Structure 1
Amino acid sequence: MNRRYFLGVSLSAMAAPVLAKRPAERPRALSLHHMHTDERISVVYREGDHYKRSALQQLNFFLRDFRTGDTMPMDPQLLDILYDVKASLGDTEARYEILSAYRSPKTNAMLRAEGHGVARNSMHLYGQAIDIRFPDLAPSHIRDAAVALGRGGVGYYPSSNFVHVDTGNVRVWKS
């Protein structure tokens, strides 16, 4: 074997493999109905790996503390959890019904004083939690889908007909 043959074989063997293109991910959109304000929103909040600033600002306002009007930047990972839960359920065309999202310190303190069982250091205070349901699904289906993701906390409140999801440590509870 001569040197040219060896180099030719070696170089062709080291040619970069042709990689399949990753299929373009569909834009991530959410459709929400706030049960206390009766507002509705449908918005594409993420395209590929990029969150859309204007959409996040719309969602921050939409998910505000409805009692005080205060806003907080919502954790984009929370939005991703909502998107992934709905995607895993697959068969619902309904909007999420939002019962609580951002909660100001004033509102949180008032709810604690009234005995609503809210945590003193609730993740709602930091824009990292949301209480949800779908009009056409039992909350247990939403709970199961959220738990299967293995991301954040999932609280199940069957008597109040909602599920809490957050971006904290992975944990599950029932109230």
Structure 2
Amino acid sequence: MMNGNALPFTNRRTFLKMSVSAALSLLPISAMAVQTPEHQILSFYNIHTGESLSTCYRSHGKLIHRAVGRISTIMRDHRTGEIKPVDPDLLDLLHRIVMEINTSEPISIISGYRSPETNAALRRVTRGVAKNSLHMKGRAIDIRVPGFRTEEIRELAVDLHSGGVGYYPSSDFVHLDTGPVKVW
């Protein structure tokens, strides 16, 4: 028999932790006091759609799926509207970069997820678009960070040894992915 205060399948402490984590995923970064190791926060600005997002995507080591869904939405293929779940390892890589450069500036998304159709179309008109791009798997992003040279971001990403790093100085962006460690 349950007492009047007990919740089925959980205790009060677990319920409170889950509630706080869910609430954190909805707060804008300005509503949070500081970025802490317990709460991993990322901010984005999509240059194609004009959308912005600041969210806590991981709390106490646990992924906040609702926040990852919101990030996947802002990283969607802006040409088709198609959404693919973003790789949490890519978010962790972005978070490491944000922490290293110590910025609260949003990451400018140049390209996030690309549908196979978009990727094929880009391959026809642009050099450097891989046939089996990790963008099509939600495992790659092309970025800028306001206030930082893309060369600085590239050097930091290379030093992290966490996947592929491409540098496109003429287009002023850095490609990051969660594939094998590779630099171009």
Q: What TM-score bracket applies, with the shorter chain setting the length?
A: 0.7 to 0.9
Residue pairs, 1:1-175, within 5 angstroms: 25-90=37-102, 92-173=103-184
| C-alpha deviation, 1:26, in angstroms | 2.8
Q: Give the gaps of 5 or more residues in structure 2.
A: 1-35
Q: Helix, strand or coil: the match of 2:170?
A: helix
Which structure is larger by alpha-carbon Rg, 1 or 2?
1
RMSD after superposition:
1.1
Gap regions ≥5 residues in structure 1:
1-23
State the 1:48 CA deviation.
2.0
Query: What's the CA shift for 1:115?
Result: 2.9
SS in 1 for 2:83: coil
- With 48-57 and 113-122 compared, the bigger mean Cα shift is at 113-122
The list of structure 1 runs, each at least 4 consecutive aligned residues, that deviate by more than 2 angstroms after superposition, is none
**Structure 2: how far apart are the matches of 1:152 and 1:77?**
10
Report % sequence identity. Answer: 46
The residue aligned with 1:6 is none
The answer on whether the counterparts of 2:80 and 2:115 sit within 8 Å (CA) in structure 1 is yes
Cα deviation 1:40-69 (Å, max 9, x = unaligned):
000000012210011011111111000000
Count of equivalent residues: 149
| Structure 2 CA distance for aligned equivalents of residues 97 and 164 of structure 1 | 12
Range that drifts further, 67-76 or 107-116: 107-116
Q: Aligned equivalents of 1:162 and 1:25: distance in 2?
A: 28
C-alpha deviation, 1:116, in angstroms: 3.9
